[in-house]
Amino acid sequence: MRITQFILSAALLLLVACGDSSPSTASSDASPAPAAEPTKEMATPGEWTSIFNGKDFTGWHTYGKEGVGAAWKVSDGVIYLDVANKDGWQTEGGGDIVTDKDYANYELELEWKIGKNGNSGIIYNITENGYDHPWLTGPEMQVLDNEGHADGKIKTHRAGDLYDFISVAEENVKPVGEWNKVKLVVTDGKAEHWLNGKKQVEYVNKGAEWDAMIAQSKFKNFDAFGQTTSGKISLQDHGDAVWYRNIRIRELSK
């Protein structure tokens, strides 16, 4: 009898120790796992907002001035630069125009086309406090006739480039007179240039790596250049015919 009881007890202990090796089912009131913290790559875009109304220069002014010079005109939903009165590398009554507002963490879209042998640019992260030109303070996405303008022979001065820093991954600019579609993504830490549906340039826009890039560029002696990751957006007057349209922006969550 004692031997039988011992055997039964041992068997029971073995069964409890081994148990069911399959995972247990969570109860219905268990708390869900916490969601991952959002990152810049996961940033949620807001609504698109037009920053050019297609009719006039509401929301824009000439850099460092009030209003917009007479050389900049609007027709059929397009901003264009009338260079009939060219004055050196800029235009009489022109000058670079900038947004009234500053922008941070955003995605910008627009279309541009350039005249024969033309040069212009989209400059961003601009400060406006006593400097003569936007390009003294902010980086530029180059707008260029690669085939006709002398800058087309310089590797980092071609259409879509981060001007004087990084050349495009693949040249896909359209010929003179055809519209090119641009996307510019700017956050506190990174910027991207897109041209005609392809990401062409990506770079960090603050910190030691960015500072080293500036130190090796033509902008190394400009104390304000590239020192902010937000600011105004500019369309450049380089004395050449250029057209811009469908300019819109949406803010990205931080």
Q: What is the pLDDT of residues 132-151, one digit of tens each?
A: 999 999 999 999 999 999 99
Mean pLDDT of the chain: 86
Residue 159 near residue 202, CB atoms below 8 Å: no
pLDDT class of 26 with cuts at 50, 70, 90: very low
The model's confidence at residue 31, banded by pLDDT at 50, 70 and 90, is very low
Residue 43's pLDDT is what?
56
> For the segment 117-131, what is each residue's pLDDT rounded down to a tens digit?
999 999 999 999 889
What's the pLDDT score for residue 68?
Answer: 97
**Any domain includes 9:** no
Asked if the structure places residue 23 within a domain, the reply is no
Tally of domains within the chain: 1
For residue 32, being part of any structural domain is answered with no
Q: Going by C-beta distance under 8 Å and a sequence separation of 6 or more, which residues neighbour residue 156?
A: 162, 163, 164, 165, 166, 167
The answer to the question of residue 207 being in a domain is: yes
107: domain range? 44-251
Q: Is 105 inside any structural domain?
A: yes
**The domain spanning residue 244 has which CATH number?**
2.60.120.560
| pLDDT for residue 54 is more than 50 | yes
In a domain, 30, yes or no: no
Decide if 150 is inside a domain. yes
Cα gap 51→108, rounded to integer Å: 10
